[in-house]
Amino acid sequence: MDYYLITTILVCLAAVFGFINVRFLKLPNSIGLMLITILFSFGVLALSFFDDTLLNAEKEIIASIDFRTVLLDVMLSFLLFAGALHTNFEQLRIQRWPVLVFSTIGVLTSTFLVGILTFYALQLISLEVEFIYCLLFGALISPTDPIAVLGILKQAGAPKKLETKIVGESLFNDGVGVVVFLTIFKIASSETGNIEVSAIFELFGMEVLGGIFIGLVLGFLTYKLMKAINDYDIEVIITLAAVMGGTAIAHYFHFSAPLAMVTAGLIVGNDTVRSSTMSKITETYVDKFWELIDILLNTILFVLIGMEMLVLTFETDYVIAGLLAIPIVLLCRFASLLLPIKFFSKKLSFVPNTNLLMTWGGLRGGISIALALSLSDAMHRELFLMITYFVVVFSILVQGLTVGSLVKKFAGETD
């Protein structure tokens, strides 16, 4: 099946499911699309008892798509740039230190806590899995997903200070989380199970610092080019070129493309840069273009996540492990935020119950599934894919549907 046909099918499904959601369910797009796709997949499974033509066709589509490559190497750059472009830069500047700690120390703390608790939880159900692989699961599930959380939080009417913390953390912890995952993956893949400390720092330096540097250069270059002209068509194309060219450069030098795109998006979307480079019509066209890209890729992504259900291995032990992982991941996120929130709340104004709201509002999404799909069979790929899917689906459907009510009940403000 060629890529054009696959893309056509996915866009058509996204359009149909999106219409059903907007017309009848009226849920946030990410939630509605995933729910409808999962129900559609269940329907296809049920129909397969009488005629498996549709099931085989859907499986062929899934088998033809390298989900990890499509999301991490292509879609993620566009989605993160679009998200960063519309992030409140002034609020992010004020909240920069807690956001930095949440997206680095918070991710590392959560990774180890999830790894430890998962290791012992799997032993309780007689699944013997080496600790390093449980740590690998901790790394892939700890970063929260800005793609899942951005739209939901805006619809929930979250206070700006809270929204900035959750969204800002989600934008940056993707790049950090992927680097942590790759580091542990490298250790798990080595014959000795060890890796030199210098190699770890080199990987972090290359990925994180290199990605931010590329993003700064791209953002500044985009700013200069847009300031030199006044033509909204070309200026939109310049932003598109920055994302596509920047992603290619980051991949070539083994830098973090997600961090590069977040950095570039924040610079281009900065109010000061906007006012000095974009006319009103240019600003409208740039914003609408990237909103459309964001919506289109989001719809396709959540349709893909729902369809991935057909490749899961539904064994009883795996299902139990998935159910156990949900409270483990939530508990570890809550614990990883405790100290940073307590420390920064003395210096910055935090909304009431920030830890609870950040824990429940820190959704997981396609990035975790993509990383789980990259595991090898020796790393218990089928087990951790099932566990990851359970956490992601619960995160988006249950947490996503209730975070708005939680914000209204506990935030104590709606500024």
pLDDT digits (tens, 9 = 90+) for 81-130: 998 998 878 888 888 899 999 999 999 999 999 999 999 999 999 999 99
pLDDT digits (tens, 9 = 90+) for 11-40: 999 999 999 999 999 988 888 999 999 999
Q: Is residue 36 part of a domain?
A: no
Residue 392 sits in a domain whose CATH number is 1.20.1530.20
For residues 109 and 208, which has the higher predicted lDDT (pLDDT)? 109
Position 415 pLDDT exceeds 50: no
Position 219 pLDDT exceeds 80: yes
Q: Considering the chain, what is the average pLDDT of its residues?
A: 90
Whole-number pLDDT of residue 150: 67
Distance of CA 380 to the CA centre of its chain: 22
| Residue pair 262/175 in contact by the 8 Å Cβ criterion | yes
Q: Is residue 20 part of a domain?
A: no
How many domains are contained in the chain?
1
Q: Is residue 369 part of a domain?
A: yes
Range of the domain at 293: 67-410
Q: Is residue 53 part of a domain?
A: no
Could you count the other beta carbons within 10 Å of the beta carbon of residue 344? 18
Q: Which amino acid is at 15?
A: A
Position 271 pLDDT exceeds 70: yes
Q: Is residue 351 part of a domain?
A: yes
C-alpha–C-alpha distance, residues 217 and 107, integer Å: 27
Question: DSSP state, 205?
Answer: I
Angle at 165 between CA 216 and CA 148, to 5 degrees: 85
Q: What are the structure tokens assigned to 128, written together?
A: 């013997």
Position 414 pLDDT exceeds 50: no
pLDDT digits (tens, 9 = 90+) for 38-75: 999 999 999 999 999 999 999 899 988 888 889 988 89
| Residue pair 179/227 in contact by the 8 Å Cβ criterion | no
* The model scores a pTM over 0.75: yes
* Residue 148: band (very low, low, confident or very high) from pLDDT cuts 50, 70, 90: low
Q: Give 290: exposed, middle or buried? Use CB within 10 Å, 0-12, 13-18, 19+.
A: buried
Q: Is residue 231 part of a domain?
A: yes
Q: Is residue 296 part of a domain?
A: yes
Q: Is residue 5 part of a domain?
A: no
* Residue 191: band (very low, low, confident or very high) from pLDDT cuts 50, 70, 90: low
Q: How crowded is the C-beta side of 275, counted as CA atoms within 13 Å?
A: 3
pLDDT digits (tens, 9 = 90+) for 250-260: 999 989 999 99
